[in-house]
Amino acid sequence: MKLKTKIIYSVVFTTIFTLFGREAWVLYNYKITAEKELLDKIEKTDKMIVGAVSNPIYNLDYELLNETLELFFYDPDIKSIRFVENQGITDTILDKNYISDIDTITKELKVIYRDVELGTIIVVYTKNTISEQIKTSFKEGAITVTIVIFLLVAILASLLYQIVKPINDLIKISVDISKGDLNEDIKIKTNDEFGILTANFIKMRDSIKSQIEQIQSENLQRREAESRLLELNNSLEIKVKDRTIELETAFDDLKSAQKQLIESEKMSSLGMLVAGVAHEINTPIGIGVTAASHLKDEIDRFRKSFNENKITKSYLDNYLTTSEEIAEIILSNMNKGRALIQSFKNIAVDQSSEIKRQFKIREYIDEILLSTRSKFKRTKHKINIYCENELTIESYPGAISQIFTNLLMNSLIHGFDGIDEGIIDIIVTSTKSVAIIKYKDNGLGISKLDIDKIFNPFFTTKRGLGGSGLGLSIVYNLVTTTLEGEIICESEIGLGTTFTISVPGIIQSTS
Ligand SMILES: Nc1ncnc2c1ncn2[C@@H]1O[C@H](COP(=O)(O)OP(=O)(O)O)[C@@H](O)[C@H]1O
Ligand SMILES: [Mg+2]
């Protein structure tokens, strides 16, 4: 049930009960008083009737009796009056037949005159007036109550309308809000408590609205940030993958480049050897060719003289001596060439094949120096070898030749850069099984900062000037891996550089 209906019902019922209760109470009191008054009146009337009728009855003046009784009969409270004689004969009857005799009081009045009983007057009183009065009062009351209730209901309804309407409005708004519609235009219609309530309600709704909007925009921003982060992560992942692939490729390229460089560095020391040998061999072959063409000239001349029969003994003797000399020159130079080719063959085969064999260290170093001699030829540098002739080792000559070639070239390029007369000492000693090779130049030396890095691949102080930085790293690898030995470097700026290499495999030492 709605609040409005509840209030109206309770007010109407209360009013009805109160008003009707009061009416009933009033009517009840009225009835009691009226009945009491009626009884008093009846008593008086009784006496008056008896007083008035005794004389005419006694005188048998029935006309007067009738007139007298008719006078009383006007009383509205009297329904009927009857006179009954002693003998039981009823003389006078007055009756208002239109009045019902339900609520009546019957009185029998003995008429006694001078101690003689003359008869009985029977008066029937009616309470009709009272009940009529009560009925009328009740009707009036009912009408009043009805009017009051109508008015009350009307006033209440209008009041309640004024109260309930704004409440209903607020309910509608709150329903809208609960459904999520926060944009309904709410009007403040009154400036009473409801107006204030509505205003506060609007404020509340607006604050909810702005909070929701804030949360929504924050959510949106967060979602945007999240998706941006996700995007970023994805692109980052892709980038990382791409970069990783790039790096891997670059690393592979680098590795193969390094391998190639190392190979080419190895080849370049071989190439250096070839160049050296080619240069060396040029002289004996050149001399041999000159001598041979000289010999051919001699032979041609000899044949011509022979054909002309002009050969004398002294000419023949002269010719033979010259030919012998030339042949000797050719022979010795050819031998030189053969020796050179042999040593070149040895070193070249050693360098490229890495075969382990027995060899004499001194001899081998000499052969190496022979092939690098062309590089040093135009300088005034001096190379001293201190090594027992018979010191024999079983090792890898190719590796040793590569090591020496590199050390010699470094001394020439780095150590003696700007120095005309440098000295290189190669001192080989041995323990029972290990050869100790000290390679020493008195060149520029290496700074403390660089000395820890010289064995690193690609470390060079001559980058862009032909340095690859691989020479000493190859030396280090050959010593420690192929020869299974050790190498250390000591150097001081201005005092030169010393490499100490120990190589196992000594077979015959002289000490
Ligand atoms: N005998 C030496 N005297 C002075 N510096 C040297 C000597 N040997 C090597 N170095 C230094 O060590 C570096 C590395 O040598 P190396 O590995 O052979 O590379 P590269 O000769 O290509 O520069 C050289 O650049 C040089 O600075
Ligand atoms: Mg070098």
| Cα end-to-end distance, the chain, whole Å | 130
Contact 467 CB / ligand 1 (< 6 Å): yes
In which domain, by residue range, is 474 found?
Answer: 354-511
What are the pLDDT digits (tens) for 67-93?
888 888 898 888 888 888 877 777 778
Strand extents, DSSP E, 244-400 = 357-360, 382-386, 392-395
Do 441 and 489 have their domain in common? Answer: yes
Phi/psi for 279 (5° steps) reads -65, -45
Q: Whose CA is nearest to atom 18 of ligand 1?
A: 471
Q: How many CA atoms lie within 13 A of 130 on its CB side?
A: 20
Q: Whose CA is nearest to atom 27 of ligand 1?
A: 461
Question: Quick one: which of 337, 427, 415, 426 has its CA closest to 379?
Answer: 415
Do 277 and 387 have their domain in common? Answer: no
Of 298, 333, 350, the domain-final residue: 350
Give the CATH number, domain containing residue 374: 3.30.565.10
Task: Tell me what percent of the residues of the chain surpass a pLDDT of 90.
Answer: 35
Contact 477 CB / ligand 1 (< 6 Å): no
Tell me: pLDDT of 34 over 80: yes
Contact 441 CB / ligand 1 (< 6 Å): yes
Of 300, 330, 350, the domain-final residue: 350
Contact 446 CB / ligand 1 (< 6 Å): yes
Contacts of 206 (CB under 8 A, 6+ apart): none
Question: Quick one: which of 490, 487, 509 has its CA closest to 362?
Answer: 509
Radius of gyration of the chain (CA): 79
Using the atom order of ligand 1, give the atom closest to the CA of residue 445: 4
Contact 414 CB / ligand 1 (< 6 Å): yes
Contact 422 CB / ligand 1 (< 6 Å): no
Q: What's the pLDDT score for residue 296?
A: 92
What is the rounded average pLDDT of the residues 126-132?
86
Q: What's the pLDDT score for residue 387?
A: 95
DSSP character string of 258-303 = HHHHHHHHHHHHHHHHHHHHHHHHHHHHHHHHHHHHHHHHHHHHHH
What are the pLDDT digits (tens) for 289-330?
999 999 999 999 999 999 998 889 999 999 999 999 999 999
Q: Which residue has the higher pLDDT, 159 or 414?
A: 414
Q: What's the pLDDT score for residue 384?
A: 96
Structurally, how many domains does the chain consist of?
3
Give the CATH number, domain containing residue 141: 3.30.450
Domain annotation covers residue 11: yes
Do 364 and 499 have their domain in common? Answer: yes
What is the rounded average pLDDT of the residues 149-171?
82
Domain annotation covers residue 198: no
Tell me: pLDDT of 24 over 60: yes
Ligand lying closest to the C-alpha of residue 412: 1
Q: What's the pLDDT score for residue 353?
A: 65
From the CA of 428, how far away is ligand 1's center (Å)?
Answer: 22
Do 232 and 86 have their domain in common? Answer: no
Q: Which residues pair with 489 in a beta bridge?
A: 499
Q: Are 501 and 437 in contact (CB under 8 A)?
A: yes
Of 334, 350, 366, the domain-final residue: 350
Question: What are the respective helix, strand and coil percentages of the chain, to the nearest 5?
Answer: 65, 15, 20
DSSP 8-state assignment for residue 2 = -
Contact 468 CB / ligand 1 (< 6 Å): yes
Do 329 and 314 have their domain in common? Answer: yes
Domain annotation covers residue 78: yes
Q: Which of 416, 460, 491 to mutate to test the pocket of ligand 1 (most atoms within 8 A of CB)?
A: 460
Among 3-7, 53-57, 473-477, name the one with the lowest average pLDDT: 3-7
Using the atom order of ligand 1, give the atom closest to the CA of residue 474: 17
Tokens of 114: 């001078």
DSSP 8-state assignment for residue 411 = I
Q: What's the pLDDT score for residue 146?
A: 87
In angstroms, the CA 239 to CA 236 distance is: 5
Among 22-36, 273-287, 399-413, 453-467, name the one with the lowest average pLDDT: 273-287
Contact 138 CB / ligand 1 (< 6 Å): no
Q: What's the pLDDT score for residue 458?
A: 77
Q: What's the pLDDT score for residue 97?
A: 81
Do 491 and 343 have their domain in common? Answer: no
DSSP 8-state assignment for residue 463 = B
Do 434 and 447 have their domain in common? Answer: yes
Using the atom order of ligand 1, give the atom closest to the CA of residue 496: 3
What is the rounded average pLDDT of the residues 109-125?
86
Q: What's the pLDDT score for residue 318?
A: 92
From the CA of 471, how far away is ligand 2's center (Å)?
Answer: 4
Q: Whose CA is nearest to atom 8 of ligand 1?
A: 410
Specify the DSSP element, H or E, that contains 501: strand 496-504
Do 360 and 491 have their domain in common? Answer: yes
Domain annotation covers residue 214: no
Q: Whose CA is nearest to atom 1 of ligand 1?
A: 411
Q: Which residue has the higher pLDDT, 406 or 274?
A: 406
Q: What's the pLDDT score for residue 304?
A: 92
Domain annotation covers residue 419: yes
Using the atom order of ligand 1, give the atom closest to the CA of residue 455: 17
CA distances from 487 to 226, 430, 435, 446, 490 (A): 60, 15, 12, 16, 10
Cβ contacts of 465-473, under 8 Å, gap ≥ 24: 466/413, 467/413, 468/261, 468/265, 470/261, 470/262, 470/265, 471/265, 471/406, 471/409, 471/410, 472/406, 472/410
Using the atom order of ligand 1, give the atom closest to the CA of residue 468: 22
Q: What's the pLDDT score for residue 269?
A: 65
Q: What's the pLDDT score for residue 275?
A: 67
Tell me: pLDDT of 417 over 80: yes
From the CA of 342, how far away is ligand 2's center (Å)?
Answer: 27
Secondary structure class of 438 (helix, strand, coil)? strand
Q: Which residue has the higher pLDDT, 439 or 335?
A: 439
Q: What's the pLDDT score for residue 348?
A: 65
Question: Quick one: which of 492, 505, 237 has its CA closest to 358?
Answer: 505
Question: Quick one: which of 471, 491, 488 has its CA closest to 404?
Answer: 471
Query: What is the band of 270 on the pLDDT scale with cuts at 50, 70, 90?
Result: low
Using the atom order of ligand 1, give the atom closest to the CA of residue 443: 3
In angstroms, the CA 181 to CA 183 distance is: 6
Contact 265 CB / ligand 1 (< 6 Å): no
Query: What is the band of 440 on the pLDDT scale with cuts at 50, 70, 90?
Result: very high
Q: Whose CA is nearest to atom 12 of ligand 1?
A: 454
Tell me: pLDDT of 358 over 90: yes
Q: What's the pLDDT score for residue 493?
A: 96
What are the pLDDT digits (tens) for 190-244?
778 878 888 888 888 888 889 989 999 999 999 999 999 999 899 888 989 998 9
Domain annotation covers residue 200: no
Q: What's the pLDDT score for residue 408?
A: 95
Domain annotation covers residue 332: yes
Using the atom order of ligand 1, give the atom closest to the CA of residue 467: 22
Using the atom order of ligand 1, give the atom closest to the CA of residue 406: 18
Q: Are 4 and 164 in contact (CB under 8 A)?
A: yes
Q: Are 391 and 362 in contact (CB under 8 A)?
A: yes
Domain annotation covers residue 163: no
Tell me: pLDDT of 468 over 90: no
Contact 381 CB / ligand 1 (< 6 Å): no
Q: What's the pLDDT score for residue 396?
A: 92
Do 120 and 75 have their domain in common? Answer: yes
Tell me: pLDDT of 118 over 70: yes
Do 328 and 382 have their domain in common? Answer: no
Tell me: pLDDT of 3 over 80: no
Do 254 and 358 have their domain in common? Answer: no
Q: Are 373 and 280 in contact (CB under 8 A)?
A: yes
Number of residues that this document lists for the chain: 511
Do 409 and 294 have their domain in common? Answer: no
Q: Which residue has the higher pLDDT, 189 or 141?
A: 141
